[in-house]
Structure formats: C-alpha cells, structure tokens
Amino acid sequence: MPKEKTSHTNSNSIDFDPGTVLYLYCDDLKKNKYFLVLSFATSAAPVLFIINTELNEFKLKRPWLKMSQFKINKSDYNFLRHNSYINCSEIKWWFNKKKIRTQINDDEERNKGQLMPVHIKLILKIVHNSPTLSNVEKEIIDNSLSKVIK
C-alpha cells in the first residue's frame, strides 16, 4: 500500500490527497477511527467520510442509508482488522486541519495510504446517487476525488 508523501518539518505543512485513509482519534467518539479524506483544500475545512467496521441497525433498516455504505475488505487493505464500510451518506466535520496534522505529525503510522482507484470510482457513483448529501457536498467530493482517478 503506497504511503502519502508529506513533509513533517512543520505540522501546518502536511496536506493529504483525496482518497487518503487516516486513522484519527475522534474526541466525539472517544476512540480512534478510520476516515477517508475527500478534500483537504487549502481554504476549506477537511471533508471526511468515516469508516465503520459494521452497519448498525438504523442503517440496515433504511435502504437509502444502506445503499450509501461502501464495503472495503480486509484482504484489500492491510491496515484493516475487519471488513469495513465507508459511510458515504454524510460528511464528518469533526476535525480541523491543525488537529489532523498534529496527530499525523505525532505518529506517521496514522496515515494508512490511498484507497484503490477502482474503489474511489465506486464511491463516486454512490455519492452521485446519494439522497442524503447536498448538491454542494456532492460537487466538493466529485471535484476532489475525480482528480485521483484521472
């Protein structure tokens, strides 16, 4: 799995390409979670999807939410301990850039590398059909992730 090339001389200089998977401590959940970077644009907040190890009952009972979960397999990503699901139904705005950069600066192993382009293409299809994401959110995600697969 290729690692993201970043500069670690200054915690403010680290940026992440769309499609990067990060393992971050989340204050809201009081634990570490995987996140998919959708956009890390200079002038905006980081745009992330959370990655969960299982689908909860709430999502399973709602077809429009269930169809917005993209399964990634442990066999494809050596950092996973379980098959997991990228929740493509909502953007998580839980982090600012400084907090992410600090965590990665403190522990470079939190940067898990890039999602496969074939998976990014499938995520873009889910995003385009999402009933829960706004058109603005869809445009941000499409503009960022499309650059990765070209």
Q: How far is CA 42 from the centre of its chain?
A: 17
Q: What is the mean pLDDT of residues 127-142?
A: 96
CB 86 within 8 A of CB 69: yes
Tell me: pLDDT of 8 over 70. no
Tell me: pLDDT of 9 over 70. no
CB 23 within 8 A of CB 125: no
What share of the chain in percent tops pLDDT 90? 83
Whether the pTM exceeds 0.95: the reply is no
What's the token pair of residue 55?
Answer: 């689908």
* CA proximity to 91, closest of 148, 25, 44: 44
Look at residue 2 in the predicted model and tell me its pLDDT: 41
pLDDT, the chain, mean: 90
Q: Cα separation of 79 and 58, whole Å?
A: 27
Look at residue 85 in the predicted model and tell me its pLDDT: 98
Question: Using 50, 70 and 90 to split pLDDT, how confident is the model at 60?
Answer: very high
Domains of the chain with bracketed CATH: 20-149 (2.30.30)
26 strand-pairing partners: 31
Model confidence pLDDT, tens digit, residues 10-28: 445 568 999 999 999 999 8
